[in-house]
Structure 1
Amino acid sequence: MIMINIKKTCVLLLWCLSLLGKTYAQVIPDPKSHFGFSIGDDYRLATYQQLEDYFQKVDAISDRVQTIEIGKTEEGRKQYVWVISSPENLRQINRYKEISQKLARAEELSSQEAKKLALEGKPIVWIDGGLHANETVGAHQLIETYYQLVSRNDAENVAILDKVVILLSQVNPDGQELMSSWYMQETDPKKRNMRVPRLYQKYIGHDNNRDFFMMNMKESTHIARQQYIEWMPQIIYNHHQRGPEGSVLAGPPYRDPFNHVFDPLIITSIDGVAAAMNNRLNAENKPGYTRLSGSVFSTWWNGGLRTTPYFHNMIGILTEIIGNPTPEEVPLVPKRLIPNNATPNPVTPQPWHFKQSIDYSVSLNYSILDYAQRHGDELLYNMYVMGNNAIKKGQMDTWTLLPRYVDSIELFYKREKEAGKLKGDSIPKKYYDMVLANPKFRDAKGYVIPADQADFPTAVKFINALIKSGVLVHKATADFTIGGKHYPAGSYVVKTAQAFRAHVLDMFEPQDHPNDFQYPGGPPVKPYDAAGWTLAFQMGVQFDRIVDLFDGPLEKIDYGVLQNPPIKELPISEGGFLLNAKINDAFTVVNELLKADVKVYRITKAVNNLPTGSFYVDAKAATLLKKYARDYGVVAQAIAEKPQQMLQLQVSKIALFDYYGGSMPSGWVRWIMEQYHFGFQVIYPQEIDEGNLRKKYDIILFIGGGTPSLKDEKSASNRYFKMPSKEEVPEKYHAMLGKLTVEKSIPPLTTFLEEGGQIIAVGNATNLAYHFKLPVENLLTEQNKRGEMTPLPSDKFYIPSSILTVKVDTTLRPNWGMSESVDVVFNNSETFKIKQPSSEIKPLLWFDTDKPLKSGWAWGQSYLKGGIAAFYVPIGKGNFYAFGPEITNRGQAHATFKLLFNELYKNK
């Protein structure tokens, strides 16, 4: 009888506990019980596998968590979003996601309906960590934040869980696994280091935070889908390192300039969140927060995990904090010790431990979450307001207030003032009307991407980048006409009357970066990243800008549904087939054909309206060509007879230069070559120094840094990495060590050329031209008082990463398939002039105007006129190719990929 009563009591107790929810019935294991150390302990890091196991273990216990696998990384690891909220909210999570989507897209939604939804919904806050894997605070604060959110039952935490939906994500799993495993492999804690042998995200390393309007990588594609298609977070918090010297962290609000196309409510919303963050740290006696002019971060640039959200009406937050598992010091920086608006609460010099950075980061997370729970309906409704504003702007005549328009007003006024046509100092309103009410300067109502352009497969890739960004795209179901111009069925249309209008404008329109100097006549203020990046220009996409309202036989593409080029029937041919050299993916097809032992030729004279350099394949390859048409959207053109003037192609043995620690430009090219199916080997400095290169390779690619500097000829120019010694790395990585030097590296490279090898240099690597003693010199120089030639100072010439237009000699083989002009990415790039007349040097690209700027910022651009942007020259039996512009820029510059591809074959 007693046994029965005890059993009934236990059942009753378990039933009561179940009513309270399983979180209260279960004990959440703290991180130390799982990892064997507390998060923030000095000299200790957790791997991604350990993080994944812990998060899954807690999820199995807690009813505050839902785990969503969002895809696989480039190395095949699982990538997740962990959804955290109250059990009641999680049971209705699909409804809250639906509300966020409706408010974000603002489609056919009245203000009254939006207010009602905002009151019903829950704000969604995204918090991530680990994007840059050597910034180890980010991934580890995520662990501690996860534990606290799931385990704490205090009033603040309960209120947050009740009123907010939180998305936590480790955004670079591969990098955490690499970096933590490397750091922890050393048994002596004080010898632990982060000098890993390769990039901490496959292919691109630090540039993983430069991929968020292109989404080339799997990781950024997965993240963008969650942010711009699935959840539509109102706040996105992206954790980074490192804080400016003499501070603990840099955070919002950010310095000018901000981008002119997004809604101003973004800027003031950042201010609101920023105040909550700064206030919490000050209330908790955590000094050292710097903002505004206290750091370099602005809101100008698109492409980062926290900046691309601005163009989607989302509040992007970035902090850059100090701290590492190896203890350090906050250095003495006297100018930061005086409180000011940039740093209201300075930190003093002191020892600094990992745990302090974790504590700061968790406090910052909670400041944002507390702000969201207090202002949730406002955050939701304001997102609707911004989306609705964008839709309205896309339906009416609008003029974006750009620096070039303001400059025009001031120029008109100055001219008439000097001509005596005006009196007084007031600028008449007529100048505003002349510019910002001028119909020809109106913002676009939409853009048409014609289906009959030569490289339509690349245009489809551009469309897919927009679709991945949550942009609404339409497709023509039949032929149509706008303004007297005919467009074929299958063309794409992107209208600006949509919530993400700012992102649409930013992908099609030129950026207009203001002239920004430290003081009048002083040096320029360096943009945080790029000044201009217009993706349609970079990709060479042909489009028409439509400024009047229009419509047509258009079908709406469902959000997130990626497109494929149309599949057309391969015509029957006895004379063989031609592949258009203007199509980038024609090279993919060619590489597949060569692997299948099919003979491929390039025509040296235009045939059937296809340009010189197009590829000829015998009719026997029809079956393969049909398959490749389905796979890559490249349809061959039938011809009646085999062309007479051709060169047969052979596969080349290609070496791609890299160095210990990894080069991002080289990594991007590795990715590009894999996408287009080129075979290659990676080569390191020691192998170059050993010589006998021609026996192993036909071509060596030098992309970006790593070549010997002209200032210190015994060292390599490598801004990203300090080369370790053999004693500091395991033996299996020793072959990757070393630097190129003038003494040991240039002679074998010269011999390689003389024996018939080809060297292609891009960007900074073009300084090889000077080491090879070629008769060229830097165009952008001037003579100083001592008669020496020195680089132009930045107050005279300064072009941070922007898009410029160059002329192309289409008669030369390296330029086959190119148009007579092309937009290139120019980042203070090497520009040449020929020292004396030389028939040997063949200019490939050059500046034929004093105003080549297409998008971005170009101070002193007139200096470029007549300058050579790219050339090639025979050296012995081989050739050296130099491309100053970034022709492979971050996997985005599809318009100039062919400049590389053309040189990657041997001609029989």
Structure 2
Amino acid sequence: MRLAALLLLLLGFTTAQSQQPDASIPTPKSHFGFTIGDNYQLATYTQTEAYFQKIAAASPRAKFTIIGKTEEGRDQFMLLVSSPENIKNLDHYKAISQQLAHAENLTDEQARALAAEGKAIVWIDGGLHANEVVGAHQLIETAYQLLSRTDPETVNILDKVIILLTHANPDGQQLVSNWYMRKPSPESRSLDALPRLYEKYAGHDNNRDFYMLNLKETQNIARQLFVEWLPQIMYNHHQAGPTGTILAGPPYRDPFNYVFDPLVITSLDAVGAAMVNRLNAEGKPGYTERTGSSYSTWYNGGLRTTTYFHNIIGLLTEIIGSPTPSDVPLVPNRLIPNGSTPFPVTPQKWYFRQSIDYSISLNYAVLDYAMRYRDELLYNIYRMGRNSIEKGQKDYWTLSPKRVDAINQLYTASNHRRNDSATGATGNAINLGGGRGDTIPARFYDSILKNPALRDPRGYIIPSNQPDFPTATRFINALIGTGIAISKATAPFTVKGITYPAGSYIVKTDQAFRPHVLDMFEPQDHPNDFAYPGGPPIAPYDAAGWTLAYTMGIKFDRFPDGFDGPFERIPYGQLQSATPPSPKEGWLDARSNAAYTIVNDNLKAKKPIYRNTTNGNFYVGGSHQPRNAVKLTPTRIALWDTYGGSMPSGWARYILEQYHFPFDVIYSATVDSGHLKEKYDVIIFVSGAIPALAGEGGGGRGGFRIEQPKPDSIPAEYRSLLGRITAQKSIPQLKEFLQAGGHIVTIGSSANLAYQLGLPVHDALVEMTGGKERRLSNDKFYIPGSVMQVTLDTTSQPAWGMAAEADVYFEESPVFHINPEATANGSVRPIAWFASDKTLRSGWAWGQAYLRDGVAAFEANIGKGKLYVFGPEITFRAQTHGTFKLLFNQLYSYH
């Protein structure tokens, strides 16, 4: 008995010894001077990068790598973590992951063999939204624990999983941490009142760029996710959780996008269950899911959400926490356990380290799941890819609300009673829901969802002879950057009687990432999502519609039948180039956005530029002015911004830089100081700049606001950036600028300037209630973020180079009626308008009939100057290339 006890004691001692942290791995405290999660302490990116390099050098479990440069020029790192043996064979396991994700030229038997051989790939990131400081700091602690822990769970995870720990926004962490730590007194530190955006151009919108790939950080991340590693699971850390909870996580609320493979949704359920189960087992309450939060799986374009369209299980958690201690507030209706929040948290003090500990538990839950179901995860990503390929090789109809509506409408129009020809007993009827089990004859289903004209496409052709082929190539590169398979024609070819030139691009849908292909070309059909019948709409998590081929103005043909030709497959990830014409002398087609870059470069070189007054085409060089042309001269351009940074302004700045427009960024203090015409010829105001008239909402839909701090609370060098555009001080200066010959361009809610100046226009989206005009309520008119079609006056200078119709991004945008006398005397002229009661192209438009004959954009004479008003977001997130010209045309002087 004594010997047995001694053996057990020795065994326990050996086990305890084997689970001690590896002392060769530097602790965070030894490097940073504090433990991650200590109150009032944040690490900078410079310190973080150095720590990751240090621990990678100390551990055979890690490989440190740089995935690219940031917009501010910093290195962006990724730390690969696994067993030492796996680290030696990373290329082999990456190749297996690529083969299974692409699902090409594999039998089911081969796929299962690869799944058995491969390692699960799991992505964990942090820091994307830099003021959500838990994200970057949990990444530090996670790396340390994975490299230092020796317990069986960690060893098993490292044996079967390759972990990609990726910093999502180095520039942002450096800014935010320096800002927080600038004050020597810990209790006075605050994350509030950052002076500028924490991503150079996009700020918070850096998480809305993952199908467009404008930003360097986005490009770096997308290459690793969609071209290089193709993980089966990715985990995107955010904050903060819904009030009265600790965090929100998977699974998420409806609607989900109808192009997904169902395995995406059920896999989210499975991994989400593992996450909440671990927290519950560890006694960590406060996890909410599904309807407990606002997050859905509808939107494409986010770091998490774009992964769904690539058959990846994309995880998002939003957790509370700050280095400054906070409180979990009392929200009584959050205290009742339910299916969305089975283990509620009670009001209490909350500390930063608690959020770090929760995050580590969640990371381990995900990694443990990947370890246990490694072969299933690897096989399932193959299965989803194979399903997509098979759908793209045959006739297929995607289910969506408009198609269910079409079935209902067809049945109603048939004038049959519901119980006529009911065939439920034979299994040949369909149930339309509603809770009563009502059925109608299946022939109505067949009329819609077996109608050859309504089939999903087998592929698309983007002709190389379209007017703006450089922008079309930019669109193709957005697809290539997200891992889409593209082919290019090596010779002219004909499909369905249409001849296409060599160099045209072909995008087939028989590929693993078919959901993403469809989402970039096809309209989104968001359901009519209301809290209850007759109640208010439930806002989408982000946009309701965004079809990139529409907003970029791409010319393409859609084919529901298979086709072939002299096509050469472009290697995955190989970006394409389109060299625009750059004549020493000659005409440039104004329909091409690239023409404006060439014009700006020539203006900078002081070469003469002329513009045709009929179609807007540019003439470069030459000693004589062409007929029907005006001469262009450069203008002094100002772009409004605000303290803290405006995201719409940041995106506009990005666009102006990309197209080589010279400009200054100005703040309200510059406006208020007056004498604007002495400094500038054009001023651009984006959404959020111009206030609405007191007591009125005209033109004020949408918009963006940053709270202005007190001057004495920020360093002196930033105080000149403070202030707002005000009716009392700023508007008179803007009016004087216009009367002196200046031009102002307003976008989105900054259309309020038209009302502030008393122009003869009024809000088209109002109704008379009790003898007063009131804005239409959301249960009557609601367009959150969708693509709408407008008709343009292409003979007018503001719309030169545009087609007669254009797709615009509409986000609760202002719409106008112009007083008839103003139109008659020419003082206010429409540029674009809604020509019908059905102008929705993609997304959700409830009550769109109210838009009919409403004016989307106009120009107005004010003194010697002009005001250009664009209600839609013509520069939205630097994605709406199809409407950039509506800004560019106003940035020249014509003589």
TM bucket, shorter chain: over 0.9
* CA shift in 2, pair 1:712/1:354, >3 Å: farther
Whether 1:35 and 2:32 are equivalent positions in the alignment is yes
Whether 1:144 and 2:141 are equivalent positions in the alignment is yes
Partner of 1:742: 727
Partner of 1:825: 809
Partner of 1:353: 351
Partner of 2:76: 79
Per-residue deviation, 1:706:
2.5
Please tell me whether the aligned partners of residues 713 and 742 of structure 1 are also in contact (alpha carbons under 8 angstroms): no
Whether 1:474 and 2:487 are equivalent positions in the alignment is yes
Per-residue deviation, 1:690:
1.1
Gaps of 5+ in 2: 1-16, 423-437
> What does the per-residue CA deviation read over 1:707-766, in whole Å, with 9 as the maximum and x for residues that have no partner?
223346999997542210111110000110111111111100100000000010000111
1:594 alignment partner, SS class: helix
2:369 alignment partner, SS class: helix
Whether 1:187 and 2:184 are equivalent positions in the alignment is yes
Partner of 1:581: 590
2:574 alignment partner, SS class: coil
| CA distance in 1: counterparts of 2:448 and 2:873, whole angstroms | 34
| CA distance in 1: counterparts of 2:663 and 2:231, whole angstroms | 41
Partner of 1:811: 795
Of 506, 510, 518, which residue of structure 2 is paired with 1:493?
506
Please tell me whether the aligned partners of residues 708 and 716 of structure 1 are also in contact (alpha carbons under 8 angstroms): no
Per-residue deviation, 1:788:
1.4
Partner of 1:295: 293
Per-residue deviation, 1:193:
1.7
Of 662, 667, 672, which residue of structure 2 is paired with 1:684?
667
2:440 alignment partner, SS class: coil
What amino acid sits opposite 1:360 in the alignment? Y
What amino acid sits opposite 1:234 in the alignment? Q
* CA shift in 2, pair 1:833/1:716, >3 Å: closer
What amino acid sits opposite 1:701 in the alignment? I
> What does the per-residue CA deviation read over 1:13-71, in whole Å, with 9 as the maximum and x for residues that have no partner?
xxxxxxx99x9986111101110111001111000000001111111111110011111
What amino acid sits opposite 2:717 in the alignment? K
* CA shift in 2, pair 1:790/1:584, >3 Å: same
Per-residue deviation, 1:426:
3.2
1:127-206 maps to which residues of 2 (within 5 A)?
127-194=124-191, 195-206=193-204
Partner of 2:891: 904
What amino acid sits opposite 1:540 in the alignment? G
Query: Identity percentage over the alignment?
Result: 58
Per-residue deviation, 1:687:
1.1
Please tell me whether the aligned partners of residues 602 and 616 of structure 1 are also in contact (alpha carbons under 8 angstroms): yes
1:393-412 maps to which residues of 2 (within 5 A)?
393-412=391-410
Per-residue deviation, 1:196:
1.1
1:881 alignment partner, SS class: strand
Of 643, 650, 655, which residue of structure 1 is paired with 2:626?
643
| CA distance in 1: counterparts of 2:597 and 2:135, whole angstroms | 39
Partner of 1:658: 641
Please tell me whether the aligned partners of residues 72 and 218 of structure 1 are also in contact (alpha carbons under 8 angstroms): yes
Q: Which stretch of the first structure deviates more once superposed, 720-729 or 757-766?
A: 720-729
Please tell me whether the aligned partners of residues 652 and 878 of structure 2 are also in contact (alpha carbons under 8 angstroms): yes
Q: Which stretch of the first structure deviates more once superposed, 169-178 or 193-202?
A: 193-202
Whether 1:672 and 2:625 are equivalent positions in the alignment is no
Partner of 1:223: 221
What amino acid sits opposite 1:753 in the alignment? L
Please tell me whether the aligned partners of residues 26 and 61 of structure 1 are also in contact (alpha carbons under 8 angstroms): no
| CA distance in 2: counterparts of 1:718 and 1:453, whole angstroms | 35
1:349-748 maps to which residues of 2 (within 5 A)?
349-417=347-415, 422=420, 426-565=439-578, 576-605=585-614, 612-619=615-622, 643-711=626-694, 719-748=704-733
| CA distance in 1: counterparts of 2:581 and 2:28, whole angstroms | 57
* CA shift in 2, pair 1:377/1:578, >3 Å: same
Of 122, 126, 129, which residue of structure 2 is paired with 1:125?
122
| CA distance in 2: counterparts of 1:25 and 1:892, whole angstroms | 48
1:671 alignment partner, SS class: helix
What is the number of equivalent residue pairs in this alignment? Answer: 857
> What does the per-residue CA deviation read over 1:497-533, in whole Å, with 9 as the maximum and x for residues that have no partner?
0000000000000000011100011111100000000
> What does the per-residue CA deviation read over 1:367-401, in whole Å, with 9 as the maximum and x for residues that have no partner?
00000000000000000000000001110000000
Per-residue deviation, 1:309:
0.3
| CA distance in 2: counterparts of 1:722 and 1:903, whole angstroms | 30
* CA shift in 2, pair 1:99/1:874, >3 Å: same
> What does the per-residue CA deviation read over 1:435-469, in whole Å, with 9 as the maximum and x for residues that have no partner?
00000000000000001111111000000000000
| CA distance in 2: counterparts of 1:880 and 1:421, whole angstroms | 61
Of 34, 48, 51, which residue of structure 2 is paired with 1:51?
48
Partner of 2:14: none
Per-residue deviation, 1:274:
0.2
Partner of 2:11: none
| CA distance in 2: counterparts of 1:556 and 1:408, whole angstroms | 38
What amino acid sits opposite 1:699 in the alignment? V
What amino acid sits opposite 1:808 in the alignment? L
What amino acid sits opposite 2:817 in the alignment? K
Per-residue deviation, 1:883:
0.3
Per-residue deviation, 1:568:
7.3
Partner of 2:6: none
Gaps of 5+ in 1: 1-19, 606-611, 621-640
Partner of 1:327: 325
Please tell me whether the aligned partners of residues 416 and 422 of structure 1 are also in contact (alpha carbons under 8 angstroms): no
| CA distance in 2: counterparts of 1:413 and 1:712, whole angstroms | 48
| CA distance in 1: counterparts of 2:651 and 2:79, whole angstroms | 30
| CA distance in 1: counterparts of 2:606 and 2:413, whole angstroms | 68
Partner of 2:767: 782
Per-residue deviation, 1:835:
3.4
Per-residue deviation, 1:837:
2.4
TM-score by length of 1: 0.93
| CA distance in 1: counterparts of 2:580 and 2:748, whole angstroms | 37
* CA shift in 2, pair 1:546/1:882, >3 Å: same
- Superposition CA RMSD, Å: 1.9
Partner of 2:865: 878
1:503 alignment partner, SS class: helix
> What does the per-residue CA deviation read over 1:300-341, in whole Å, with 9 as the maximum and x for residues that have no partner?
000000000000000000000011111111111000000001
Partner of 1:212: 210
| CA distance in 2: counterparts of 1:25 and 1:303, whole angstroms | 40
> What does the per-residue CA deviation read over 1:270-312, in whole Å, with 9 as the maximum and x for residues that have no partner?
0110000000000011000010000000000000000000000
| CA distance in 1: counterparts of 2:632 and 2:644, whole angstroms | 35
What amino acid sits opposite 1:428 in the alignment? P
| CA distance in 1: counterparts of 2:582 and 2:489, whole angstroms | 20
| CA distance in 2: counterparts of 1:70 and 1:693, whole angstroms | 44
